[in-house]
Structure 1
Amino acid sequence: MDLLSLEHFGGCLNETFSARLQGIEAPFVLVQANPLPTRAADAARAPFSLVFRNASPLLFPQQTYRMQHPRLGELDIFLVPVAQDRDGFLYQAVFN
């Protein structure tokens, strides 16, 4: 796959990405996909941010997760826990 861009994820809002964690399938729903301010004119891609929600009561640590999506296939995405709401924990991935 080419260098990932916001356009890759644009049609995936509210869709589930699955990660395999210690033999357990963990669903992460993409709830936000936003552009970020461009910093360098010679950047390989426009920076963007993704936010995923996981409804598990367990907080997953900051690390790279191998995510599966029906259309995008297998992707390694570095997730950072950033918040908790009534529906679960939110995890952000920043691409710059």
Structure 2
Amino acid sequence: MQFLRLDQFAAHLNETFMVDIENVRTPFVLVEARPIQHQPIPGLVREPFSLLFRHEAAVVFPQRIYTMSIDGMGEFGIFLVPIARDRDGFIYQAVFN
């Protein structure tokens, strides 16, 4: 299992990640990567963070773990939750805590 960190994603802000949806690779653009405020916890392995991705489709995909990839990070599973819709498509969030 790959241990993902905020800095890995921040390096790919506004870039396209490919997400496997029913064996079809679909583009999701990383539009935000930010830390989450939290109380200090002794032994915390990584700082919590949130990611927002935009997908330009008229259909919303359900929340679940999707296989995602981008050059430089390889392939990994990520739990995406649809949280908003705007004129350009849907926004999905992934939270790491």
Normalising by structure 1, we get a TM-score of 0.93
Tell me by how many angstroms 1:2 deviates: 5.4
The residue matched to 1:9 in structure 2 has which SS?
Answer: helix
Aligned to 1:24: 24
1:64 paired to 2:58: no
Q: CA RMSD in A?
A: 1.3
Normalising by structure 2, we get a TM-score of 0.92
1:7 corresponds to which letter in structure 2? D
Contact in 1 for aligned 2:2/2:76 (Cα 8 Å): no
Tell me by how many angstroms 1:43 deviates: 1.4
Divergent runs of 4+, >3 A: none
C-alpha separation between the residues in 2 aligned to 1:86 and 1:24? Answer: 24
Aligned to 1:45: 46
* Unpaired segments ≥5 residues, structure 2: none
Tell me by how many angstroms 1:42 deviates: 2.1
C-alpha separation between the residues in 1 aligned to 2:13 and 2:86? Answer: 18
* Unpaired segments ≥5 residues, structure 1: none
Tell me by how many angstroms 1:75 deviates: 1.3
